[in-house]
Structure formats: C-alpha cells, structure tokens
Chains A and B, each alone.
Chain A
Amino acid sequence: MTRSGLRSFGAYVPRLRLEREAIAAATGWASGLRGGKPNGRRSYCAWDEDSVTMAVEAARDCLVGHDRSTVSSLVFASTTHPFADRCNAGVVAEALDLNEAMHTSDAAGHQRAGVAALLEALRGVDAGNGPAVVVAAERRIARAGSEQESRFGHGAAAVLVTGGDDLAAELVGQASLRADFVDHYRGADGDYDYAYEERWVRDEGYLALVPRAIAAALERAGVATHEVAHCIVQGPQRFAQAVVKSAGLRAETVENDLHAACGDTGVAHPLLLLGGVLERAEPGALVLVAGFGQGCDVVVLRATGRRAAAGRGCSGALAGGVANREYVRFLANCGLVDVDWGMRAERDNRTAQSALWRHHRDVTAFVGGRCTRCGTVQYPRSRACVNPECRAFDTQVPERFADKVGRVKTYTEDWLAVTRSPPHVYGNVEFEGGGNAFIEFADTRPGELDVGTPVRFVFRVKDFDAVRGFHRYFWKAVPVRN
C-alpha cells in the first residue's frame, strides 16, 4: 500500500498589502510603536473578500490540472468562517462545482485547525478514503494599534491529500499532544483576540509543549533530528527558532515566517509555509510541520521532488500583491470604521433563499448553459436559447464559466453606484469560446481597463445584507495581470 500524502498545493493571498510603516504612522501615537520597528507589509482582504472567498481561490489553485470529480471530501479550516451556522465548506465546494456525493465540513475553534485538518485527511486516506481537499483561510480582525493588527495577514492555502504514486510529499510520521494552554483566546461573541504575556507563552507553551510532540513524531517516523531539512513551527519566527533549538533540530531548517511578505495568516499559515517549502525542497527532503494551538499536531513529510503547485502556488500568491499605505481603507475593509456609503447603500439586499437554492449552481458555481442544438454558450442558463437564430427550448446543458477567460466588451467606472471601493467598476465581458455576461469587476483601479482587456474570474462577496446578517457571493472579473 502506498502512503498518504500531498498531491498538490494551492495558495491565495489578497492583492492588498499594507505597509506596516503606514500602520505605525497612523497608530504610533497610541501604541507607542508596540512591537518594535515596523518592517514589511501585511496582506488584507478587499471589501469583497472573506475567508470563504479566499478559500475558494486557494482551492481552485490547488486543483489546477486535477480531476475535480474524484474529490471525495473538503474540509475548510478557519477561526474566521463568515457563517457560524451554515456549512462554509459547502459554499467552497459549491463554488468549485465539486460532486454532490461528497463530504464537507468546517474545522474551527483554534489556530491549530489547519494542521489538524491536514492530519485528519492524511489519516482518512490511510484508512481508504478518496482524495481530500483541505483548505484553510483566515481573516482575523485586530484592534487599531494592536500588536496583532501589524502581525496578522489575511490569506489561504489548500492541499489535495491522496494516496498513490505521484505525491509531492508523503507522510512519514505524526504525533499529537493536547494542552488547554491559553496563550490567547477569542470568545464566541468576541471581535478580537486577547493575548497573554509573550515570555510565558514562549517558555510554558512553545518550549514546554512543542518539542515533546516533535520528538514523538520523529520517533514514530524513525527520523533523526539532523535529517530534517525544513521546519515549520506555527507562530512568530523567534518562537519557532527557540523551539527548533530546544528540539535539537538544525537552526537553519526554520522556515521564514513571511512576516515581511504578508504577515501571519493564522490557521492557514503553516499550510502556506508548507506550500513554499514544497516549491523548492530537494527530492527526499524531510519536512516537519508543527501546528500550535491548545496543544500541538506534528506532521513529518518526505518531499518527492514532484511539483506540488501547477497554479500560482505560494510564491505566486505572494508575488501578486500591491503595496499601499491606505490605513483608513484597511480599517474600512476590516469593518473598523463606519464609513458613510450614502443613501444608495440603504438598498434592501434581502436574498430569497428559495431563489438562491433554485439557482445555486448558476450563481455559486458560475455554471451557465451550452445549447446542444446550435452550440451557443450562454449565461445564465435559461429555458430558451439566447441565440436569435435558434431560441430552442430546453436544449441547454451545464457549462462552467468560472475557469474561462474573457475580454472586456464594455465597461464603466461608476462614482454614483454604491460600492465599498469607489468607483464601482462593471461592464459586459465576452468569454473565450463564447458567452457574454454583465458583471462586476474586482481589484480594479480607475484607468486600468479598456475595451479588449483580458479578464479572468474570481469568487467574491456580491452584496451585504446588514439587516439580516447575510451576504451573498458571486463571481467577478479581474484583469489578467502578468
């Protein structure tokens, strides 16, 4: 029997990156530059991104080049699922247009949830389960001027866990340790983390707990400490270094924690780092991943040298950022300032759930139709073909639009329409291979579009319904950027 392992990896980090100097400049008067000299950037969500949309993008990236029909489960790990009682993984699986006959579930409640979900998936494949997608995404909000505000980043990572011969990394050992050690917490109704004193966290938490789990995992794997080539320890770099030293691992094996590039993406972060390691690990290299949060889960993997990322991967996700110093926009996107969006924002965005369910594949999976009589590809799918030369009834079969590319046919930058990032950019796009749609653009700045601009499509929040605490998702066009 082949061992279980990781067949592919995908990542997503929002395009928006805030210079930490801008945070310090805006909040230094209050924080006294808590945390030392600011360096690098932190990633943050656009107004229309959340953990679900980031998870969709990471999972799409992970599944590039893979047969989606074989996926038998999807677990979505996060402490910032947008819905407390609605299967968030179900939204992700729907957006990916995966099989109906599959398992979906959310993993939540602690920072270790991503590594824990990975471990569960590896065990599941070992037990005979089919290919599993594990996706983790995090959009943690922190108080203005707090240490977390500067340290956190928003992002997502996904892995496809399978058995078989073409793995990018295979499982060689694992161990777990439980401990109700409260280095920080966030109450069920809380908006922010409450963190305890760092030195205690390091000494009584990281150093006292993590090396024990690492030793157990290495022993089970039959691996000596000096054989480990890459160590990922969830948490700040200085803690990871201390843990590696204490565990007897080589100091140079500690992975860079990406503080300068995007910040700590929480539940997603160990997986994001793992993706980075797999892009450059030598065949046979041993990789240790230690998730930390009320205990520890350690996974030891052996890289095979096969490529894990057919899409953008970790390096591509990190490279896609655009730095800015717009601290107030950052606060607004985090929901921390109450911006006046004008009277148009009073529009009632009630969602008819019955209509959404009726059209769930059209809307969430962006599936339109293809006329079997004339071949016309069209969105949305409808009872009568849109081709004026055809107009046949009930001839359309499903056609997925989400992964197509297209070009701008018409567009505008609308300064009157309500959006949380004026101007509201929308227009008609023409899909390669046929089909047209009237659609919103995301991540697009004024002056960026022209007729003919190539576009691709991303999953985003469409509208918020503040009255009922709901928000709906749809796909948006973004310019294809090199």
Chain B
Amino acid sequence: MALGIRDKVAIVGMGCSRFGERWDCSPEDLMVEAFGEALRDAGIERDRIEAAWLGVFYQDQSVSRSGLPLSIGLKLPNVPVTRVENLCATGTEALRGAAYAVAAGAVDIALAFGVEKLKDTGFAGLPERTKGTFEDLWQPGFTPPGAFAQLGAAYAARHGHTMDDVKRAMAHVSWKSHENAAANPKAHLRNRITIDQVLSAPMVAYPLGLYDCCGVSDGAACAIVTTPEIAASLGKRDMVTIKALALAPSNGVEMGHASWDGAHTLTTRLAAGRAYLEAGITDPAAQIDLMEVHDCFSITELVVMEDLGFSAPGRAVHDVLDGRYDRGGAIPCQTDGGLKCFGHPVGASGLRMAYEIYNQLLGRAGERQLGAPALGLTHNLGGIPNRNVASVSVLGLHRG
C-alpha cells in the first residue's frame, strides 16, 4: 500500500500578497505580487516552472475560468496550468496537485497558486450563488455564517455547555486572532479588539456576531515545490518538506444520516487521521508545534480543536479560555491572524496558511516568530458543516 508523499516534496519558495480590500488591484496584480516574492525566495527563473495549479473559487466573479488567467497573468512559458476548486480547501487542493506532480516524478518544479478577488463581487460577505438544479429546489438559502452557526447550538447542547460559556470561548478565539494579526503587516484586519466588543457586536447568525466572522478579502498566495534533492541543488540548507496532504470530502452522511450530531466536523476527523498516518504522527498535541486552522467563524476553530485531536471532546471551550491556543500557549493557533484577520480570499487561503507555517519553520516570521517550531499543521474546511471538504496538511522542517 502506498505510504503517501512524506518528505518527497520540498517547498523552496513561497509568496503571499497583502490581504485586504485591495480596491486598486486586479487579480493579475495580486498574482504578480505573490509570485514575485516566491520566485525571489526560491532563487529560480520563471521558466524553471514546468507545471502549475491555479486555485480559485468564485471564478466567474473574478479571474474567469480555466488555468488561463494564471498562464496569461504571469506569462508562464506555456506550461500546463490546471485550474482546481474544492470550496474553501481550494488553495490546499492546488498545493496537492503541484506536490503530487513532483512526487510522481512527472516534473521537477511545480507551482501551486491561489487567488481570489472577492471585493469585485459587490457583496459585504461572500457572494450569493446557486447550488445546482436539484439542491436549489430543497436546500435552505443559507449563508456561510448561518450554516456554520449551526455548530453553536448543537455543540452547546451536545456537551452541556451554556451558550454564554461557548460564546465567551468563541470571543476568545477572535480576540486572540486580532492580537496576532496586529503583528502581521500583510493581514487584512490589524486592529486589536476586546472580549466585550466581540460579545456585544451585532448578531449575524445566531450565535455568531460580527466579530465571530472572518474577513472577506482580496489576496493571492503561492508555493514553488520541488524534490528535496533539487532543493538542495538550489542551495537550500534548512528546508520545509511536506509531511502529509490529506483530503476528506463528505459523502452525504452529515446531512442525511442520524450518526452525525451536528456538533463536530466529521471530515476534519477523517482528514486528520489520514494526515497523521502519512506524517507518522502518533500524538498530535505533543508533536505539532503550531497550526493554522479554518477559522472562517470562531465556532469552527473552537470545534476543530477537538476534531484535530488537540482538545478532548467537549473540552475545547476550557482549553481556549485557558489560552492553550494563544501565541504563548502550548499549541499556538493562527499566529498570523488566521482567516479571521489575515483574511479569507477563498482560493488563496490554504496556501496562505502554508505560508505562515513555512515562515515560522524557517524562522522568518519576524515579530510573530515562535521559538523553534519543527512541525506545523494547516486545516481547511470548505463548504458547510453538514456538507464539506476538509483538508489537513503537515509541514516539517529539515535542517541541512
């Protein structure tokens, strides 16, 4: 049985644009901004790239369809560009494509790209869209906050917490991310906030208030991947390798079967199990040094602390309030501000997470730098809790 791609692929360069309401930037501007940084970081010429994967979600509202926007925007040398989309796991899906191509030996150097230009859609939140000819006939006309808010009431009921306690933990999640983002010059929302501000904010979708929701941002992020051997030949000594890239989509159980309690994300558990196996991790809470999780809403981050195996069932409320996932805690989470404050340009988010882990592992995170982390995790949850795609990636540092 195949063992996965652990340590078969190294990341030799990464770039990330500043996220935010980039009114003056086109998708092309954002792509060039991220790509230039990655090329300089990798120390290679553009034409060394042999294949690319472009992740974008709202294609019709921003860059248009296919792989062409990347090929044309970066004037790539007519190499294959594959456009991928897997809801909010899109950026990670692009990385998966590029990494698998390298691991398979099909190419030496590949590019994973994610971009999203949300602020041209005209919506304050994520834009409205249809869900398909059959689903539109019966599924609720939900919004992302409303769909994720479902976790709140179910989680409180499942574990016997009062909503006040859950709300306080959710507020801590958001407060912590704002604290972290204040030290991140590329983050969308860099203001510090108070717990009281979070708790007294207008309600968006019960129990989620305004500060329980992440930023809706423009942005781009990318990674250049190759084999560890080629990375070494490029002069890389300390390098970041991919330990695991796991993906788990729903197969209908959450929405249609009684076994799902509505209080957890089933696919996160499945993807985490696969990623830990691939990476050789037996005790994630002890082995993982930092993580970037899909905090599209504060309740999501709270719940996935349990789904990823960091908090015991029902205990995330206490662990969060105890500061276990703060910058100075046992397992820092969202050191860059997360989706909440770095922002959430959907197609770029998975790669933005990898960018923070990459920089932390290489000791380049500046004001945000943790001690000497060696193993980091990224997590995406695309879709909604009862119908989604989860990805869990593990990146590790190899000292040369």
User: Which positions in A face B, CB cutoff 8 Å?
Assistant: 343-344, 346-352, 354-356, 358-359, 362-363, 376, 378-380, 382, 386-388, 409-419, 423-424, 426-428, 430, 434-440, 446, 450-452, 462-463, 472, 474
Chain A nearest Cβ from B385, distance in angstroms: 8
Cβ of A414 and Cβ of B145 under 8 Å apart? yes
Contact with B206, one of A349, A388, A412 (Cβ below 8 angstroms): A412
Enumerate B148-203 residues with CB–CB distance to A below 8 Å: 149-154, 156-157, 202-203
Quick one: CB contact mask for B197-237 with A, threshold 8 Å, 1 for yes?
Answer: 00000111110100000000000000000000000000000
Contact with A450, one of B137, B143, B153 (Cβ below 8 angstroms): B153
How far is B141's CA from A349's CA once the two chains are assembled, in angstroms? 10
Name which residue of chain B comes closest to A430, CB basis: B258
Beyond A416-B143, A452-B157, whether A343 also contacts B137 by CB under 8 A is no
Chain A nearest Cβ from B157, distance in angstroms: 4
Cβ of A426 and Cβ of B256 under 8 Å apart? no
Name which residue of chain A comes closest to B387, CB basis: A438
Q: Let me know if B142 is at the binding interface, CB within 8 A.
A: yes
Contact with B137, one of A356, A416, A417, A439 (Cβ below 8 angstroms): A356
Cβ of A410 and Cβ of B150 under 8 Å apart? yes
Beyond A348-B130, A349-B136, A412-B150, whether A388 also contacts B141 by CB under 8 A is no
Contact with B150, one of A356, A386, A411 (Cβ below 8 angstroms): A411
Cβ of A418 and Cβ of B259 under 8 Å apart? no
Residues of B within 8 A of A419 (CB): 141
Beyond A409-B262, A410-B153, whether A416 also contacts B204 by CB under 8 A is yes
Residues of B within 8 A of A452 (CB): 157
Chain B nearest Cβ from A48, distance in angstroms: 12
Residues of B within 8 A of A348 (CB): 130
Quick one: CB contact mask for B340-351 with A, threshold 8 Å, 1 for yes?
Answer: 000000000000
Cβ of A451 and Cβ of B129 under 8 Å apart? no
How far is B387's CA from A423's CA once the two chains are assembled, in angstroms? 22
User: Which positions in B face A, CB cutoff 8 Å?
Assistant: 122-123, 125, 128-130, 133-134, 136-143, 145-147, 149-154, 156-157, 202-206, 208, 251-253, 255-263, 386-387
Name which residue of chain B comes closest to A441, CB basis: B140
Residues of B within 8 A of A356 (CB): 137
Chain B nearest Cβ from A367, distance in angstroms: 12
List 15 interface pairs A-B (beta carbons < 8 Å), by A numbering: A347-B128, A347-B129, A350-B130, A351-B137, A362-B138, A376-B257, A378-B257, A388-B253, A410-B263, A414-B142, A417-B140, A417-B142, A423-B205, A439-B138, A440-B141
Beyond A349-B136, A386-B252, A387-B257, whether A413 also contacts B206 by CB under 8 A is yes
Beyond A415-B203, A438-B255, whether A359 also contacts B137 by CB under 8 A is yes
Residues of A within 8 A of B261 (CB): 409
How far is B323's CA from A470's CA once the two chains are assembled, in angstroms? 53
Chain B nearest Cβ from A433, distance in angstroms: 11
How far is B153's CA from A474's CA once the two chains are assembled, in angstroms? 25
How far is B147's CA from A413's CA once the two chains are assembled, in angstroms? 10
Contact with A417, one of B130, B141, B263 (Cβ below 8 angstroms): B141
Name which residue of chain B comes closest to A426, CB basis: B140
How far is B157's CA from A386's CA once the two chains are assembled, in angstroms? 25
Cβ of A379 and Cβ of B128 under 8 Å apart? no
Name which residue of chain B comes closest to A447, CB basis: B206
Cβ of A378 and Cβ of B262 under 8 Å apart? no
How far is B138's CA from A362's CA once the two chains are assembled, in angstroms? 9
Name which residue of chain A comes closest to B152, CB basis: A412
Cβ of A424 and Cβ of B146 under 8 Å apart? yes
Residues of B within 8 A of A414 (CB): 142-143, 145-146, 149, 204-206
How far is B130's CA from A139's CA once the two chains are assembled, in angstroms? 30
Q: Number of A-B pairs whose CB atoms are under 8 Å?
A: 146
How far is B138's CA from A426's CA once the two chains are assembled, in angstroms? 12
Query: Which 9 pairs between the two chains have the least Cβ-Cβ distance?
Result: A414-B146, A426-B140, A410-B150, A412-B149, A355-B133, A451-B157, A410-B262, A352-B133, A414-B205
Chain B nearest Cβ from A321, distance in angstroms: 26
How far is B136's CA from A415's CA once the two chains are assembled, in angstroms? 20
Residues of B within 8 A of A413 (CB): 203, 205-206
Cβ of A410 and Cβ of B154 under 8 Å apart? yes
Contacts A436-B257, A450-B157 aside, 6 further interface pairs with beta carbons under 8 A come to A344-B128, A355-B137, A358-B134, A380-B256, A412-B206, A435-B256
Contact with A363, one of B123, B138, B156 (Cβ below 8 angstroms): B138
Residues of A within 8 A of B141 (CB): 347, 417-419, 424, 440, 463
Chain B nearest Cβ from A340, distance in angstroms: 14
Of residues A346, A426, A474, which shows the largest number of chain B Cβ atoms within 10 Å of its Cβ? A426
Cβ of B125 and Cβ of A416 under 8 Å apart? yes
Name which residue of chain B comes closest to A345, CB basis: B128
Chain B nearest Cβ from A417, distance in angstroms: 4
How far is B142's CA from A418's CA once the two chains are assembled, in angstroms? 8
Cβ of B153 and Cβ of A451 under 8 Å apart? yes
Chain B nearest Cβ from A154, distance in angstroms: 24
How far is B202's CA from A158's CA once the two chains are assembled, in angstroms? 45
Residues of B within 8 A of A352 (CB): 133
Cβ of B137 and Cβ of A428 under 8 Å apart? no
Residues of A within 8 A of B130 (CB): 347-350
How far is B129's CA from A410's CA once the two chains are assembled, in angstroms? 23
Residues of B within 8 A of A354 (CB): 133
Beyond A386-B256, A417-B143, whether A428 also contacts B150 by CB under 8 A is yes
Cβ of A472 and Cβ of B139 under 8 Å apart? no
Cβ of A382 and Cβ of B252 under 8 Å apart? yes
Chain A nearest Cβ from B165, distance in angstroms: 15
Contact with B140, one of A355, A376, A409, A438 (Cβ below 8 angstroms): A438
Cβ of A412 and Cβ of B262 under 8 Å apart? no
Name which residue of chain A comes closest to B208, CB basis: A412
Residues of B within 8 A of A463 (CB): 136, 141
How far is B204's CA from A359's CA once the two chains are assembled, in angstroms? 33
Name which residue of chain B comes closest to A369, CB basis: B256
How far is B149's CA from A386's CA once the two chains are assembled, in angstroms? 24
How far is B146's CA from A438's CA once the two chains are assembled, in angstroms? 12
Beyond A380-B138, A463-B141, whether A415 also contacts B204 by CB under 8 A is yes
Residues of A within 8 A of B157 (CB): 450-452
Beyond A346-B128, A348-B130, whether A462 also contacts B138 by CB under 8 A is yes
Name which residue of chain A comes closest to B266, CB basis: A388
Cβ of A388 and Cβ of B257 under 8 Å apart? yes
Of residues A416, A450, A474, which shows the largest number of chain B Cβ atoms within 10 Å of its Cβ? A416
Chain B nearest Cβ from A390, distance in angstroms: 10
Cβ of A438 and Cβ of B258 under 8 Å apart? no
Contact with A440, one of B129, B140, B147, B152 (Cβ below 8 angstroms): B140
How far is B251's CA from A462's CA once the two chains are assembled, in angstroms? 25
Residues of B within 8 A of A434 (CB): 258
Name which residue of chain B comes closest to A418, CB basis: B141
How far is B130's CA from A379's CA once the two chains are assembled, in angstroms? 20
How far is B162's CA from A451's CA once the two chains are assembled, in angstroms? 12
How far is B129's CA from A415's CA once the two chains are assembled, in angstroms? 17
